[in-house]
Amino acid sequence: MNVVERFLEYVKFDTQSDELTNLTPSTPGQMIFVKHLEEELKALGLEDISLDDNGYLMATLPSNIDREVPTIGFIAHLDTSPDMSGRHVSPRIVRNYDGESIVLNKDKNIILAPTQFPELSDYKGQDLIVTDGNTLLGADDKAGIAEIIAAIEHLKNNPQIKHGKIRIAFNPDEEIGQGAHKFDVKRFAADWAYTMDGGAIGELEYENFNAAVAKVSFQGLNVHPGYAKHKMLNSIRVANQYAIMLPRWETPEHTEDYEGFYHLVGFEGSVEKTVLTYIIRDHDRDRFERRKRELEHLTRKVNCEFPECASIDIKDQYFNMREKIEPVMHIVDTAIQAMKNVDVAPKVQPIRGGTDGAQLSFKGLPCPNIFAGGLNFHGRYEFVPIQSMEKAASVVVEICRLVAEK
């Protein structure tokens, strides 16, 4: 199978992750999918294939040269986002895209339009895989899986392309921030790796947000509203007062590039008790720490007016992998050269989010992120250009060749 055939096969598997199950993998569909991949890797004749009880699949393409070269890895994740259904995905190929609006679902009037998604214009004349408007597509990250396996098969079938030992891995639950939690870096045994989990063609990322989640709780006092004067403390009102004390413009909808933010992602409340859930993001570690301190300061400020009303719990999620990548920048340089060699213009940029590679880098496996080609992830307007997937697979092959050559 080529990369497109693989991708169209993979999106049939429903692999949405679920952060509420407290299981690994968090959903049974991921294990069903990874067992399918295990059989595929066996059929390809790969070695050292291992699938553990948590859904982490690893395999090896042995070196075909007689000298020592670094062992490199390629990684992609099994799950799709919980933000939208990934069940019964019905993809369609739009051949030779004409630059106009694409009707995804006529009955529901769901249209993928360049006026709303101007990046479509970059792919005029190419072949796009789109949804039917009812589900996400799953290019994040089944495109990455298809590209890695297609590249490995190409290397295996073309022994004239010299390469060292190549390790590949597919892991669950990246979309809920747990993809690297049980990843056995020692067992993977690579000198460095690349996640194939980026977006548009050419993207190459070795910087990501520092990330934390904060839960701010407000304890109120409920009494009959007709007799509440000087007695009631409405926790919803206090929580609202807290929320508006944060900088209005430091939110996702007002920031870009290296700008960080506070993002209110949950509000559960009654008069008696209210909980606000924030995610905190910033590329700069010092600014990140200041953001956490600001939330703590506002909590104390609320308690000055309403004693013992507010409490806060902050948990770090991941950190900017830049500090782990910069000492080994040759791995980024290799990816840049590989892209240029296959006529892809590199676009080195920070990730406004996180990847498994960030956590893996802090576990001792430096792991930049390379494009998988998809756009508009996590929703019904997701699409992936076929030519971008083909180029991504070519980049994987070229990285392997360059590492052996150097």
For residues 388 and 299, membership in a common domain is answered with no
In the sheet where 128-130 sits, what is the strand order? 92-94, 128-130, 383-385
Contact assessment for residue 405 and residue 65, using Cβ atoms and an 8 Å cutoff:
no
Domain total in the chain: 2
As a 3-state breakdown, the chain gives helix, strand, coil percent values, each rounded to 5, of 35, 25, 40
Instruction: Supply the CATH number for residue 298's domain.
Output: 3.30.70.360
Say yes or no: 58 and 187 in one domain.
yes
213 vs 70: CA distance, rounded Å? 37
pLDDT at 256 (0 to 100): 94
Active site residue 18: no
Residues 90 and 222 in one domain: no
Residue numbers in the chain where pLDDT is lower than 50: none
| Of 14, 141, 174, 356, catalytic | 174
pTM above 0.85, yes or no: yes
- Same domain? For 46 and 160 the reply is yes
Q: What is the pLDDT of residue 354?
A: 81
Residues 178, 232 within the same domain? no
Q: Which of 318, 352, 377 is the last residue of a domain?
A: 318
CB–CB of 258/350 below 8 Å? yes
Residue 275 in 3-state DSSP?
strand
Task: Let me know if 88 is exposed, middle or buried by CB neighbors in 10 A (0-12, 13-18, 19+).
Answer: exposed
- Structural domain ending residue among the three candidates 318, 341, 375: 318
What pLDDT is stored for residue 177 in this prediction?
86
CATH number at residue 149: 3.40.630.10
Active-site entry in 79, 203, 390, 398: 79
| pLDDT for the residue numbered 406 | 84
Which distant-in-sequence residues (6+ apart) come within 8 Å of 99 by Cβ? 114, 120, 121, 124
Q: What is the dihedral sign for C-alpha 282, 378, 399, 67?
A: positive
Q: What is the structure's pLDDT at 355?
A: 84
As a whole number of angstroms, the distance between CA 337 and CA 342 comes to 9
d(CA 226, CA 234): 14
